[in-house]
Structure 1
Amino acid sequence: MAKVSRLPGRAEHHWIWQMKAACRGVGSEVFFHPEGERGQERAEREETAKTVCAACPVRARCLEHALRVAEPYGVWGGLSEKERRSAVASGKAAA
């Protein structure tokens, strides 16, 4: 579960960066795995999501948000949940 207490709140200026995201209009199924998805299917879906993220003008802001709120699911800012956990554990991510 994301740490809701760390979310920035309702003020629009905290969320306006999302209006510029490359993923707007792309189905959430690209970024969030269905229950039980594993192996090649999951790898291919994550690579598709990361391709969208690679061209995103707000990629860094998205990743910063995911790290700050400890987002537990999906591809955010070009990293999967496993990659974000690894980055935090290794100290390579400033949350």
Structure 2
Amino acid sequence: MLHPIESRTTSPVVAQVLERPPAAQSQGDDNPWHTGAACRRDEVGLFFAPSKEPTAARLSREEQAKQVCARCPVLLECREHALAQPEPYGVWGGLTAAERRVVLARRRRRDADLHEATRIPAARSRIAG
């Protein structure tokens, strides 16, 4: 089965993903990072929700997708791609869309804290000097 990025399905979610070029390339290689993805051999439907999917079915499907991701050699590249885009749907890099939103919020908070931490000592040195 094709990787979600290369799928020929008519799903609007997959079609939206198809329009975006992969953000990351594997280092020292001309092939896109996703050429080595474990999900290339699995059902695309495992990674993207059908419309009006019941909660229990969604949780089961997402768990199965995460199991595929867990054995993937490009898990981190996939995750960073999904966070950088940001991909609004599906399981990417072992994370659901909701989990990726949490990661992005934590990164924004961390970056704001780091920015604030570097700004305060600079302001103190101006006041003291």
Quickly name the TM-score band, shorter chain normalised: 0.7 to 0.9
- One-letter identity of the residue aligned with 1:70: P
Considering fraction of residues, name the structure with more helix.
2
> What RMSD over aligned residues (CA atoms) do the two structures have, in Å?
2.7
Structure number with greater Rg is 2
Match status 1:76 vs 2:110: no
Aligned match for 1:33, one of 43, 46, 49: 49
Higher RCO (CA-CA < 8 Å; seq separation 6+): 1
Q: Where does the alignment leave 5 or more consecutive residues of structure 1 unmatched?
A: none
In the alignment, structure 1 residue 67 sits paired with structure 2 residue 83: yes
Q: Which runs of 5+ in 2 are unaligned?
A: 1-15, 24-28, 111-129
State the identity %: 44
- Taking the aligned partners of 1:30 and 1:78, their CA distance within structure 2 comes to 12
Whole-angstrom CA distance in 2 between matches of 1:70 and 1:39: 23
Please give the TM-score of this superposition, normalised by the length of structure 2: 0.60
Residue 64 of structure 1 aligns to which amino acid in structure 2? E
Match of 1:23 among 36, 39, 47: 39
Q: How many residues were matched structurally?
A: 89
Instruction: Give every structure 1 segment of 4 or more consecutive aligned residues whose post-TM-superposition deviation is greater than 3 Å.
Output: 4-8
**Which letter maps to 1:36?**
K
Which residue of structure 2 lines up, in the alignment, with residue 54 of structure 1? 70
Confirm or deny: 8 A CA contact 2:65 2:94 kept in the other structure: yes
Output one character per residue of 1:3-57: Cα deviation in whole Å (capped at 9) or x when no partner: x78864xxx93x6221110111211100000011131100000000000000000
